[in-house]
Structure 1
């Protein structure tokens, strides 16, 4: 889970753009980066809400302040004046930790990736950061695939987190897990993860904007959607990447039939395309509701032809019809969150959250849905669940029942 620390409001200048998102201690957004404190009363209101920021942003903001103070010391300015400096209104990407130094879990990784994607072609030292992001993602995925799916599916409906980064990570996880099921080598799984992380770097900010806009994409936006794969590959070339498999996987992830690599590489491009499409269907937009994981997986399998059937069935079986982090209604009427995949695609392990009378439960209640009295009756959209999930409690429940 993300760690939040207090914002030093007394040192934030009025009327200057904030370089970080401001949130409440439980993660609710108060001010988006780029917005500003309007008045002393506005500052007091944020103080009453215990304004916080992520630990990653706090560390980067402090580095930005340290950098500014060093520059002023070199100019010979008075130390007393330097000590009173306000927080800077700009954070450079070099103020953030490189990906290899990322600590924590999937949401910490998501935040660092979002920053890199937003910087796009202007990112500095991108290759070490990308290498670190890939290694961290694969480390987390290997340690606990179900937790990775749980956290990212929980994050997918939260558009305030930054859809582009969540989409990238979840696409990487889904494609890498499917590659494992298909017995593709580790090199292919790593290639899929690193390609998923940056496949949409050519339209990261517009991708987040599209997720939040109320109307369908305009012709200009559709043109950007169509053209972004080669644009993303061009940005990677600008970073100095010369790996033809990586570049081609990104370039052709929307049109895998146009890829011309060897059979193993072709399979990877097709897997990334499938994962990208599947995640997009399951992601909500303000302009349309999300498709349930069950509906998305079912449509993916039904659209299979002889060439793609093996990959599509493998991806559906890896996720299950009810992936961790999604919600279901049980035969007894409970509403539950899926906490781990089961032996079959239709029998996940779940934790009941809301009873049949519509009352939230004081404690999560574990159920194995392979039992008829607690079988899955139907998937439930995340928009219908108003209970905040505690990841630590889910971890303890999984440990208690060995799932």
Structure 2
């Protein structure tokens, strides 16, 4: 480990850290990607670590890019005031060859693994340092590329059993953040909290959830009890892990309550809980189990749209309007008898942008062929279950088309 002290003033508030911050003894204070929002947060890091340092060996190109920026300014006789104001940003990583840098690509398998490990093995001593960067990355993806994010998580959820709980948590969190921002128009702080609550809602039963996804036998009485009281246990565990936001905790405590009613008359925390509950229903219906096949996406949407009294649910309706009847990642049949994958939402809920994966004879097309579903010849006439699509597609092929 090769530690170098950095200027506290160079930390850009409200932006992901371009590299991990460590204390004078090498203790991890904040992982790469963590968002420091206030000077008070920064001050507490300095207090914990005595000073802020970067491990040059760990940070590699991102730190060298920052140093190179300072060196360029020195060669140009930049005054000391400007030098002191240089901020470290994630963009500095690509500064030397910004035009040649490849586009940012989300590593979804790594995010699945990180989420799974965090939720299965949470520890009070490092939970904030692991949770906040993960949530920040998901929130950034939802804001900057919501269609690609939905495509990746809906596509993965329809085939994932080994890391079901982590994938499901990411999907529900991202669906909630997209709906809250785009349809409900919640303030940014409330969007952040609903994402945090959704990501952590099942933290007390993560391993059990993964076990149940692969269990063909009926649930035992002990398992049923664990499922029924997991919301209260998740809230208690989050308190032990250092979560102090009462809105976050209340949303987790009530996220499994089946209490229909006027959405606008609920408190902010209970509105969050209801939105999480509707997104939870949607995600659970999409996912496969050893004991059953996943529901078609339209059935999952319908389960979210209607409440426990078979009336239209306001939160569920917002979800359907935001995602569309055929959300990214779903497979559909066209009037041409071709099967296509939905890439992104369209101008209406029933006319998304799609790419054909099998022709009218059921043969793979090789190349993914774009289709405009607003045109009569390519109108969507039905949905196709993931298990019935005989073409294996990687996200690396799909996401660049979004």
Give the TM-score of the pair, scaled to structure 1: 0.70
Q: 1:193 aligns with which of 189, 192, 195?
A: 195
Question: 8 Å contact 2:358–2:365 — kept in the other structure?
Answer: yes
Equivalences for residues 303-314 of structure 1 within 5 A: 303=307, 309-314=313-318
Structure-2 change in CA distance of 1:109 and 1:396 (3 Å): closer
Q: Which residue of 2 aligns with 1:73?
A: none
Q: Which residue of 1 aligns with 2:330?
A: 326
Structure-2 change in CA distance of 1:238 and 1:299 (3 Å): closer
Q: Which residue of 1 aligns with 2:345?
A: 341
| In the alignment, structure 1 residue 268 sits paired with structure 2 residue 272 | yes
Equivalences for residues 348-363 of structure 1 within 5 A: 348-363=352-367
Shift of 1:116: 0.6
Q: Which residue of 2 aligns with 1:144?
A: 145
Q: Which residue of 1 aligns with 2:127?
A: 126
Q: Which residue of 2 aligns with 1:158?
A: 159
Q: Secondary structure at the match of 1:364?
A: strand
Q: Which residue of 2 aligns with 1:172?
A: 173
| In the alignment, structure 1 residue 203 sits paired with structure 2 residue 205 | yes
Shift of 1:240: 1.7
Q: 1:213 aligns with which of 200, 212, 215?
A: 215
Q: Which moved more, 1:332-341 or 1:215-224?
A: 215-224
Q: Which residue of 1 aligns with 2:253?
A: 251
Separation of aligned partners in 2, 1:183 and 1:375:
31
Q: 1:233 aligns with which of 221, 235, 240?
A: 235
Question: 8 Å contact 1:105–1:140 — kept in the other structure?
Answer: no
Q: Which residue of 1 aligns with 2:401?
A: 397
Q: Which residue of 1 aligns with 2:225?
A: 223
Q: 2:118 aligns with which of 112, 116, 119?
A: 116
Equivalences for residues 10-159 of structure 1 within 5 A: 100=34, 104-120=106-122, 122=123, 124-159=125-160
Give the TM-score of the pair, scaled to structure 2: 0.70
| Structure 2, unaligned runs of 5 or more | 1-27, 35-58, 60-89, 91-104
Separation of aligned partners in 2, 1:204 and 1:265:
23
Question: 8 Å contact 2:31–2:133 — kept in the other structure?
Answer: no
Question: 8 Å contact 2:254–2:270 — kept in the other structure?
Answer: no
Question: 8 Å contact 1:106–1:137 — kept in the other structure?
Answer: no
Deviations 1:36-66 (A, max 9, x none): xxxxxxxxxxxxxxxxxxxxxxxxxxxxxxx
Shift of 1:305: 6.6
Separation of aligned partners in 2, 1:364 and 1:171:
28
Deviations 1:334-380 (A, max 9, x none): 11111111111111111100111111112000001111101111111
Q: Which moved more, 1:300-309 or 1:289-298?
A: 300-309
Question: 8 Å contact 1:99–1:130 — kept in the other structure?
Answer: no
Alignment coverage as a number of residue pairs: 302
Q: Secondary structure at the match of 2:348?
A: coil
Q: Secondary structure at the match of 2:229?
A: helix
| In the alignment, structure 1 residue 279 sits paired with structure 2 residue 279 | no
Structure-2 change in CA distance of 1:160 and 1:305 (3 Å): closer
Deviations 1:135-166 (A, max 9, x none): 11111111100000111011113335500011
Runs of 4+ in 1 over 6 A off after TM superposition: 96-99, 304-308
Q: Which residue of 1 aligns with 2:294?
A: 290
Separation of aligned partners in 2, 1:308 and 1:356:
36
Shift of 1:110: 2.0
Structure-2 change in CA distance of 1:307 and 1:213 (3 Å): closer
Question: 8 Å contact 1:179–1:189 — kept in the other structure?
Answer: yes
Q: Which residue of 2 aligns with 1:381?
A: 385
| Structure 1, unaligned runs of 5 or more | 1-93, 399-403
Question: 8 Å contact 1:98–1:129 — kept in the other structure?
Answer: no
